[in-house]
């Protein structure tokens, strides 16, 4: 038990060679099928810890391969399965039930929530199962799952609470960054509602400030992904932090060569009243996509705004 627990700690630290060595040392005291199950669990956690929040095909394939291996081990661990699982929910329940006791005890609540999702239960039922899990096992992944369910139910305040807790607490897989991104999205929903315009009305200034503070915290964790940037530049823009918004939009374009990033940058420069800067961005846009049908209209609008501003001097 001690060796196995230490294995989990080493895996959290991404020291897989040491984790495998400790598992090998403990294998003499465990049946071979239990060792194989622990190895598969170790692989699953390791693969999950490599997640960067994007739907990368290679990562998904690796996760699927490890999951399949875990399923194959069901027949060799515990009582023989008389009847194969008929659904994903049944298979998940079986996997949870055959985990080592020290894992199963802590993850019972998670099992209820995950299985409820696969069974197609209502959001309220899934959320309630996960709330019960958090009460006895306030681990980051469970909080992240609960916060995600609540977010989709548009219960943004409660979702924010659990997602922020998941972003700063321990977790079996490194979901802190994804949890913080989701928490900011919940704060955006509370600060500006459904208004996605260039200058939305701020409904709750304290949530606008919280979103900005957490955006800065997220950026300290590493460069934003293009997906994150496409949402979060608005937090800086809506708070009047135009230099920060420029930084995010520039990185978005640098990472993805997305014309949309350039389009949003021009729109942001209009809002900031920086029309000469917008013209420079338009030059980059022309070099990237000279035949883009929007380019002509955006250039004409920029010139119109520039002339209007000049006439007001």
Which pLDDT score, from 0 to 100, does residue 13 have?
A: 45
Span 73-84, pLDDT tens digits: 655 555 555 555
Q: Which of 77-81, 132-136, 164-168, 181-185 has the lowest mean pLDDT?
A: 77-81
Whole-structure pTM value: 0.70
| Distance, CA of 143 to CA of 164 (rounded, Å) | 9
Q: Write the DSSP assignment of 79-115 as a string of letters.
A: S--SS--SSHHHHHHHHHHTS-HHHHHHHHHHHHHHH
Going by C-alpha positions, the residue among 174, 176, 144 that lies closest to residue 162 is: 144
Percent of the chain past pLDDT 90, that is, above it, reads 46
Among 182, 179, 174, CA closest to 156: 182
- 15 or 242, which is more confident? 242
Q: Is the pLDDT of residue 11 over 50?
A: no
Q: Report residue 17's pLDDT band, with 50, 70 and 90 as the boundaries.
A: confident
Q: How many CB atoms lie within 10 A of CB 28?
A: 7
Q: Is the pLDDT of residue 3 over 60?
A: no
| Residue with tokens 């495998």, as numbered in its chain | 20
Please tell me which residue, 85 or 17, carries the higher pLDDT value.
17
- Tens digit of pLDDT for each residue in 20-54? 787 788 777 777 777 777 777 777 666 666 555 45
Per-residue pLDDT at 136 exceeds 90 = no
What's the mean pLDDT in 192-200? 80
Q: Is the pLDDT of residue 145 over 80?
A: yes
Mean pLDDT of 184-210: 90
The residue with greater pLDDT, 232 or 22, is 232
Report the mean per-residue pLDDT for the chain: 80
pLDDT at 157 over 70: yes
Q: What span, in angstroms and rounded, lies between the C-alpha atoms of 127 and 265? A: 38
pLDDT per position as a tens digit, 109-119: 555 555 555 45
More confident residue, 195 or 70: 195
Q: What is the pLDDT of residue 111?
A: 58
How many CB atoms sit inside 10 A of residue 152's CB? 12
Q: Is the pLDDT of residue 244 over 90?
A: yes
């Amino acid at each position: 038990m001690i060796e196995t627990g230490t294995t989990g700690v080493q895996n959290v630290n991404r020291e897989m060679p040491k984790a495998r060595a400790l598992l090998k040392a403990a294998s003499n005291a465990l049946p071979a099928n239990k060792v194989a199950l622990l190895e598969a669990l170790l692989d699953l956690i390791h693969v999950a810890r490599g997640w960067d929040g994007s739907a990368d095909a290679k990562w998904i394939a690796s996760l699927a391969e490890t999951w399949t291996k875990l399923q194959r081990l069901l027949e060799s661990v515990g009582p023989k399965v008389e009847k194969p699982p008929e659904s994903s929910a049944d298979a998940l329940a079986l996997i949870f039930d055959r985990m080592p006791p020290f894992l199963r005890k802590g993850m019972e609540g998670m099992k209820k929530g995950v299985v409820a999702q696969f069974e197609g239960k209502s959001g309220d039922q899934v959320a309630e199962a996960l709330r019960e899990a958090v009460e006895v096992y306030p681990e980051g992944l469970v909080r992240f799952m609960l916060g995600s369910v609540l977010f989709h139910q548009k219960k943004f305040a409660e979702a924010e609470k659990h997602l922020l807790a998941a972003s700063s607490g321990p977790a079996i897989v490194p979901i802190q960054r994804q949890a913080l991104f989701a928490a900011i999205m919940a704060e955006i929903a509370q600060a500006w509602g459904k208004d996605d315009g260039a200058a939305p009305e701020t409904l709750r200034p304290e949530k606008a400030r919280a979103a900005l503070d957490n955006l800065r915290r997220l950026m300290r964790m590493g460069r934003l992904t293009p997906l994150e940037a496409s949402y979060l530049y608005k937090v800086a823009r809506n708070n009047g932090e135009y230099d920060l918004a420029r930084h995010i939009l520039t990185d978005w374009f640098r990472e993805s060569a997305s014309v949309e990033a350039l389009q949003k940058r021009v729109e942001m420069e209009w809002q900031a009243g920086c029309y000469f800067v917008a013209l420079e961005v338009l030059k980059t846009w022309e070099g990237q996509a000279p035949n883009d049908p929007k380019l002509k209209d955006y250039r004409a609008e920029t010139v119109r705004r520039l002339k209007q501003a000049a006439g007001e001097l």
